[in-house]
Each structure stands twice: as C-alpha cells, then as structure tokens.
Structure 1
Amino acid sequence: MSTLVVVNPNASAGRAVKLWRSFEPAMAAAFPDMQVAVTQSARDLPGLIGSAADSGIERVIAVGGDGTNYAMINALVQLHDQNPARRMPDYGMFPIGTGCDFAAARGIPKGSLETVEWLIAAKPTPVDIGVVQFTHQGGATGRRCYLNIASGGASGDVSRRVNTALIKRPWTYLAATLATILTYKPSFVDVKLDGKDFFRGTAILVTCANSTTFGHGMIAAPNAKIDDGLLDVVILRDAGRISTLKALKQVYAGTHLSHPAVLSSRAREVRIETGGQVIDGDLDGEHFQGSDWLFTLRPGLLRILTC
C-alpha cells in the first residue's frame, strides 16, 4: 500500500524532524514505497494531500502531536467536501509532539520502534469527525473540525497559555491549568442537547468529546467512543475553586463524572449559547475564540489506522 509520511517540523518544540530521522530507516523498511514530505505550514496540507490522493497514495501518516492531527483532519475534511467521490487516504499517526493525547488514548506508542510495529499491524477503521460552528468577535462565522475533543471555557484559557509559552516543558500544561483555575472567571452559558434544555448557568468548562483524553492525560470523557455517532458532553459547573481543584484531581483518573459539580450526557447536536460573549475554546489542543457554538458529528467520515 502506497504511503505518504507528512512531518510537522514545529512539533515537539521544533525537534520533530530530528526525531523522525532516527526512525525513518525502520519506517522505510516497513513501507518500501514510502514518500516523505516536511511541511512548512498547515496551509500546504490540502494541496499536498490532494495531490497524493490523485496520484494513488492510499495512506497518509502524520508525524507530530495533537496539533498536527488537528491540521491534518481539517485538510482531509476540506478535500473530501471539495470532491466527495474521491477516495481519501487512510490516516495514521506517528506521535512525536508536545501533546499526544489522542494517540495515547488509542494505544499508539509514542515515537519509538514500537510505533513502527504498531503501524504495520494497524488497519483502517471508519471514525466520526466533530464539527464546531461559531461566531467570531467581528460577527463572521467560523467552522472547524476535530478528531479528539473540543471544549470551551477554562480549557481554552489553558490552551492559550500553553501555546504562547516561550519555552514548553513537561510541566507547562499543569502550570497553565493551575494558573487558569486560580484566575479564571466562569462564563454564563445556555447548553442545549438535541434541541432540549440541559444546563443554564455559569460553567468552568463545557466539553464536547469525540474521544476520551485531552490536556496531557485528563480523561475528560471516559465513556466516549469515536465511532458511535454521539458526542459525550461533560460540564463542570462553577462551584468554587476548591471544588474545581477536587474535580481536576479526579479527571486524571476519569472518576470525575460522579463529582457533584459535574454534569454529563450524550447528544448528536450540542448548542452552547453565550449571549454573544466571546469565550476561549480548545480544539485538539489548538486555541480559538468565539461565541454561540454549535457542535455536531459527521459519522464515519474518515478512516484512521487502529489496532
């Protein structure tokens, strides 16, 4: 099967290319027809993947972390929508990045020879793709796709802090999380699931999960499945900083759904009305801002490599 490997040079704090080179011989032996492309910008991806698909490439493997996944998924969906009849390549991951939560949740070894063995054994599986529509501060509408987890509130503030950090260390995310909890002002939201009222009040965090884990090991939605056609919705109500810290401790074990400040459910459509207030959000580790969000799923839209 013909394979294109796409390397994000910015992943792993700019060390991705060097790390990839140490595994490239093993990958070339496993996939003799492998081609390698090092991208300079996410804007290059639609053209790169589109040309690969037109030339018969059947599998694309991204070298990077959650941010790379985000860029790749949006490029793949864009290409699909331009020509739904075109067969899109299967998508796989070679995790090398600051954040690799989706890969970890799927059991993909991070940056090792075990990753190569995992990819050899992996098979394509149809998965759902999340979509969020929102309003920019200037009034224009935005639309983005995600593979893992989308959320609004404190997680967006954490994402902003992490993405703007001059130096990223293993503890950067935890430090950003604690700083946010100590300073974050909760937002008033009106949440509707499949058109029905679910929550109205101030919330620290609203999560619409396609998979289970984000935030460097936080099991935000322990029951989420990437192929069930449903979003797992988890809301952390504003119950004070002490309560929030206790819930945060539980989320690393995935036991927070029983916390009194946590609400959870499932839905095909999630509408979060903010009354026009712009709040911070996080999409697969990427920071964005917007108001009045609508989350939906596109069931089985793409195929990813899984074991």
Structure 2
Amino acid sequence: MREFTAVVNPTAGASTGAATLLQVARHLREAGATLETEYSNSLAHARETALRAGERGRVVLAVGGDGMAGGIGGALSGTGAVLGLVPAGRGNDFARALGLPADPAALAEILLHAEPRRVDTLEVESAVHPRTVVLGSVYAGVDALANRYANQSRLLRGAASYYAGGLRAVAGWRTAEYRITVDGEEQRHRGYTVVAANSPYYGFGRAIAPAAELDDGLLDIVLIREAPRRLFFTLMNELKTGAHLRRPEVRVLRGRELRIEADRPVPYGADGEVEAALPVTVRVRPADLAVLCPSPGLEDTKR
C-alpha cells in the first residue's frame, strides 16, 4: 500500500485545497493507505518539503493549482520520486492534461492503484532564475502579463479572472520584436507571444497547443503574430477549442530547446508562478518525472 505526503498551498485558495484534500484523504485512508499533511509557507518551502518526502519513498501529493503542481513537480523531476496531484486551484491545467477526474473517489482510486507514467518536464533558465524546472508551459508576451493581472485580482476568480486579465493586457500591449532560436536555428517573430508548451492547456483550460504531448520529448512552440486587437480578442475565444490554429496569424513549431529574446523587457511566465523578463531558454527533460494518472487516452467524462 502506498504512503502519501500531501503538501498544501497556503496562499489564495488554501481553504479549497484543504477541503478537497479532506475528501480524497478519506478514500485513501479507508483503503488502508497512510497520509501525512504538510502546510507550506512558500513555494520554496513546498519544494523542500516535497524533496524530503520523496527521499523517504513517499508519494508526494501537490495540493493546489498549476503553480503548486509545477513547483513540486519541478523539484521532484529527475529524483525518481512519484508525484500525485490533488487539483484545487483556479486553472488546474496540468491535471486536465493528465486526464485526472474531479470526483474525489475516482481520484483516490488513481492515486492508490495507477501505474506511474513518465512525463517530460521543462528546464527554464534566465538571468533571474538560473535553473527552474516546471511542468506545463513557458509563455513570453501578452499572456504573461494577463496571468500577472489574473493573479492580482481580488474580485474575480476562476475563468473570469483570466479573461479580465487578458482584456486588460491586450488593451495596453505594444507588439514586440522577438528573436527565437529553435534547436540552433534562429528566426524572427513580430507579435503578441511565444509559448513553449509541454501541456496542451494554459490559462484556465485554453487549448493553446492542442497537439502537445506530455511524453514526446518535444516542445510545441506557438507563435501569435501581430494582428489587430479586435482579431486578438477573437483568438482568445478560439483558444477554448483550439480553433485558433486555423488562423494565418498563428504558427506552430516543434523542437527540444528554445531561446526567446526580444527588443525590450518582455515579461515571461511559467506554470502561473515564475515571473521574469526575457531572454529565457527552455529545454525539454524527457521522461524525467513519474506521475500518477489514468493511462494515456483514458479520460474521465466528469472532469
């Protein structure tokens, strides 16, 4: 029987995380599993706590949203420890990509019995963050600014905060001149953003890179070129279904390593938490993390 250590996000949404964990914990304990709970006082503390638990051979449960999942998953990347997710954030995009169910009993069943799946992680390097490992995506441009506004929101929650943040960011955005280097090949790009995606989703379920796979050893690199603001608002809505890929303003590349530079201090973000300014380098770390999730291709219709 597996032994679990749950690391809970203490910041916004902590009460939701604790409530969600209580429901899952009941099913785990009824099945005979042991569970200890640790409340972190920062993301750095959460990473340290997760590493200690992993070294003891315990399955580490990241309780929170994408920032918590990315922070803990990044810390465990390459260590051999096993990660489980208890989604309790605003976006839960990496949990969505894994096909995790919302129902506590179904989630507990996966945590108890699923075989660990090896997935890729992303190593991120910049002047501010010499080496950070995340799970879902790195985005440089208007979406990083939108995510910052969403995180600062006190009145709006969930999808509404992301949408409002996006409107505010686009309204004041000035097109940037990017220089991107994919596996050593340099290209120019003028536009709104460059996204290096390991997961198909970001920004509360928006399918920015629908064909991205968590275990293919490749980045899906999405470029959104310069366009009238009214068209960009249309693109934001099309991200819900992936229809934006049919637009000529959208281009997708693939590669193992990406360097993003710009003509000004363009902000970038990663998994909703890391914030800095370009330049940044992103590399795939193939099959570097073991995660408990349904077998690939199986999805829960309730999530």
Match of 2:97 among 94, 99, 105: 105
Q: What is the identity, as a one-letter code, of the residue corresponding to 1:179?
A: R
Partner of 2:40: 39
Aligned-residue RMSD, C-alpha? 1.9
Contact 1:7–1:16 (CA under 8 A) maintained in structure 2 = yes
Quick check: 151-160 or 38-47, which moved more? 38-47
2:186 maps to which of 172, 193, 197: 197
Gaps of at least 5 residues in structure 2 are 295-303
How many angstroms apart in 2 are the aligned matches of 1:114 and 1:38? 24
Does structure 2 retain, via aligned residues, the 8 Å contact 1:124–1:306? yes
Matched, 1:298 2:285: yes
1:179-190 correspondence to structure 2 within 5 Å: 179-190=168-179
2:146 pairs, out of 158, 161, 180, with 158
Q: Which residue of 1 aligns with 2:300?
A: none
SS in 2 for 1:135: coil
Q: CA deviation at 1:119?
A: 2.4
Would you identify which runs of 4 or more consecutive aligned residues in structure 1 move more than 6 Å?
A: none
Whether the 8 Å contact between 1:156 and 1:287 is mirrored in structure 2 is: no
Partners of 2:57 and 2:189 lie apart in 1 by 51
Q: In the alignment, residue 84 of structure 2 is paired with which amino acid?
A: G
Report the Cα offset of residue 111 of structure 1. 5.9
Report whether the alignment pairs 1:214 with 2:202. Answer: yes
Q: Measured at CA, do residues 11 and 93 of structure 1 come closer, stay the same or move farther in structure 2, by a change above 3 Å?
A: farther
Matched residues, number:
292
CA distance 1:14–1:142, change in 2 (3 Å) = farther
The one-letter code of the counterpart of 1:271 is R
Cα offset, 1:14, TM superposition: 4.2
Q: Where does residue 175 of structure 1 map in the other structure?
A: 164
1:28 to 2:17 alignment:
no
Match in the other structure for 1:83: none
What is the Cα deviation at residue 55 of structure 1?
2.8
Q: Distance in 2 between matches of 1:33 and 1:246?
A: 49
Shift of residue 148, structure 1, vs aligned partner: 0.7
Aligned pairs for 1:139-150 (under 5 A) are 142-150=130-138
Cα-to-partner distance string for 1:139-160 (whole Å, 9 max, x where unaligned): xx63322101111101110111
Task: Quickly say closer, same or farther: Cα 1:29–1:174, change in 2 above 3 A.
Answer: same
State how far apart, in whole Å, the 2-side matches of 1:237 and 1:255 are.
16
Q: What amino acid does structure 1 have at the position aligned with 2:61? A: I
SS in structure 2 at match of 1:16: helix
TM-score (norm 1): 0.88
Paired residues of 2:150 and 2:164 also in contact (CA < 8 A): no
Does 1:61 pair with 2:57?
Answer: no
Q: Tell me if structure 1 keeps the 8 A contact 2:71–2:133.
A: no
Q: Give the whole-Å Cα distance in 2 for the aligned partners of 1:233 and 1:32.
A: 41
The equivalent of 2:254 in structure 1 is: 266
Q: Quickly say closer, same or farther: Cα 1:233–1:54, change in 2 above 3 A.
A: closer
User: In the alignment, is the contact (CA less than 8 A) between 1:13 and 1:168 conserved in 2?
Assistant: no
For residues 212 and 281 of structure 2, the distance between their equivalents in structure 1, rounded to whole angstroms, comes to 19
- AA at the equivalent of 1:213: Y
Q: CA deviation at 1:223?
A: 0.6
- The AA in structure 2 aligned to 1:54 is E
* Aligned-partner Cα distance in 2 for 1:264–1:181: 21
Partner Cα distance (2:165, 2:18) in 1: 27
Distance 2:45 2:274 in 1: 20
Gaps of at least 5 residues in structure 1 are: 81-86
Is the 8 Å Cα contact of residues 211 and 224 (structure 1) preserved in structure 2?
A: yes
Q: Provide closer, same or farther for how the CA distance between residues 12 and 240 of structure 1 changes in structure 2, counting only shifts above 3 A.
A: same
Partners in 1 of 2:274 and 2:60 — Cα distance? 25
Give the whole-Å Cα distance in 2 for the aligned partners of 1:7 and 1:172: 22
Question: Which residue in 2 is equivalent to 1:84?
Answer: none
Report matched runs for 1:61-100 at 5 Å: 61-77=61-77, 80=78, 88-100=80-92
Q: For residues 237-294 of structure 1, give each alpha carbon's deviation from its aligned partner in whole angstroms, at most 9, with x where no partner exists.
A: 011112212222221111211201011110011111224x321112111251222221
SS state at 2:90 partner: coil
Distance of 2:8 and 2:14 partners within structure 1:
13
* Native 8 Å contact 2:74 2:132 kept in 1: yes
